[in-house]
């Protein structure tokens, strides 16, 4: 048996981004349930959290989202209902999933389709050599571009996550004083991502994860990236609620940064 979906439902923090500068005459139903869920084919269901809409209409910003603990979550696939349990052995790709639960005498529901796994995910080089920059020494201004590519014949949205895998960090430059070990790109319709060697911060092994995301995820990201002064409702595909129920698929590769 293979688990075909992962759902992570988290608090919609951005729903509280409504600013107090334009708060007059705003009617917010604080019983509205907020859902955020993501599906990944081949992964187990891990965590579900539901919250009520945050009525952020005060300058003190002390509102905390109230959790919903009495809802029974159901996922539906091919007319079969699952109470967040493992489903039979399937690839999970191009499958339609539905989520629903009863709350305040309403059925809160949403639907999404799990995308296919990215194909031909490759990197032009998996070992990158960089000179160490030592204080007092003349820096090497050379830089190289390393290309990460994949197929995108259907115009899908993708984004990249690059993570350092080392437990002990080894900066390539004395000027690196923080411990930021992850790089995230923004979702876009593309088939390439370039790594500039001068922007790499640490020696060691790195993991690159390519996420193929649905349109609703891209819409959510675009919506929440707009000005916090806007009172436009965040994008949602939840019927009778707020939030997001979407799916993505991934592929992974690795590269290593070494010192010359």
* Mean pLDDT in residue range 177-196: 94
- Cα separation of 176 and 171, whole Å? 6
Asked whether residue 81 carries a pLDDT value surpassing 70, the answer given is yes
Is the CA virtual torsion 248, 5, 208, 165 positive or negative? positive
3 contacts 90 by C-beta, under 8 angstroms: no
Q: Check residue 60 and give its pLDDT.
A: 42
Q: Report the percentage of the chain scoring pLDDT > 90.
A: 38
Distances (CA, A) of 175 to 138, 169, 202, 231: 13, 14, 11, 40
Whether 8 is in a domain gets the answer no
Question: Which helix (H) or strand (E) is 84 found in, with range?
Answer: none
Whether residues 167 and 105 fall in one domain? no
Whether residues 112 and 127 fall in one domain? no
Whether residues 78 and 91 fall in one domain? yes
Whether residues 21 and 94 fall in one domain? yes
- Cα separation of 138 and 27, whole Å? 61
Whether residues 81 and 173 fall in one domain? no
Whether 56 is in a domain gets the answer yes
Lowest mean pLDDT among 94-108, 134-148, 182-196, 229-243: 229-243
Distances (CA, A) of 232 to 13, 236, 259: 15, 12, 49
* Mean pLDDT in residue range 182-207: 95
Whether residues 33 and 89 fall in one domain? yes
Name 13's Cβ contacts closer than 8 Å, sequence gap at least 6. none
Whether 4 is in a domain gets the answer no
* Mean pLDDT in residue range 181-210: 95
* Mean pLDDT in residue range 47-68: 56
Asked whether residue 237 carries a pLDDT value surpassing 70, the answer given is yes
Give the global pTM. Answer: 0.68
Show the tokens assigned to 40.
């990944």
Beta strands 127-130 and 182-184 are unpaired
Whether 92 is in a domain gets the answer yes
Whether residues 107 and 134 fall in one domain? no
Whether residues 24 and 110 fall in one domain? yes
Range of 101's domain?
Answer: 13-116+213-248
Whether 3 is in a domain gets the answer no
Q: How many helices (H) and strands (E) does the chain have?
A: 1, 15
Q: Check residue 24 and give its pLDDT.
A: 43
Residues 9-57 have pLDDT tens digits of 332 333 333 333 344 444 556 667 777 676 667 666 554 556 776 654 4
Whether residues 47 and 142 fall in one domain? no
Residues 1-10 have pLDDT tens digits of 333 333 333 3
Q: Please provide the size of the chain in residues.
A: 260
48 contacts 7 by C-beta, under 8 angstroms: yes
User: What's the number of domains the chain is made of?
Assistant: 2
């Amino acid at each position: 048996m293979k688990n075909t979906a992962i759902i992570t439902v988290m608090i919609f923090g951005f729903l509280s981004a409504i600013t107090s500068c334009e708060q007059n005459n705003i009617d917010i139903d604080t019983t509205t349930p907020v859902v955020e869920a993501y599906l990944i084919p081949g992964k187990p269901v891990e965590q579900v959290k539901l919250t009520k809409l945050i009525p952020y209409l005060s300058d003190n910003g002390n509102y905390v989202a109230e959790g919903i603990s009495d809802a029974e979550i159901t996922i539906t696939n091919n007319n079969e209902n699952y109470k967040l349990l493992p489903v039979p052995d399937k690839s999970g790709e191009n499958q339609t999933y539905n989520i629903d639960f009863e709350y305040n005498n309403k059925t809160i529901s949403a639907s999404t389709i799990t995308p296919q796994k990215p194909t031909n995910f490759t990197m032009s080089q998996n070992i990158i050599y960089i000179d160490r920059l030592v204080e007092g020494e003349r820096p090497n201004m050379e830089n190289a571009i390393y290309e990460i590519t994949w197929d995108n014949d259907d115009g899908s949205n993708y984004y990249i996550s690059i993570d350092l895998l080392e437990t002990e960090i080894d900066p390539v430059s004395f000027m690196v004083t923080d411990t930021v070990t992850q790089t995230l790109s923004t979702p876009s319709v593309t088939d390439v991502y370039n790594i500039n060697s001068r922007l790499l911060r640490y020696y060691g092994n790195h993991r690159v994860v390519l996420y193929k995301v649905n349109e609703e995820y891209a819409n959510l990201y675009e919506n929440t990236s707009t000005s916090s002064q806007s009172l436009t409702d965040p994008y949602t595909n939840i019927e009778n609620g707020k939030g997001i129920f979407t799916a993505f698929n991934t592929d992974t590769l690795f590269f290593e940064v070494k010192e010359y």
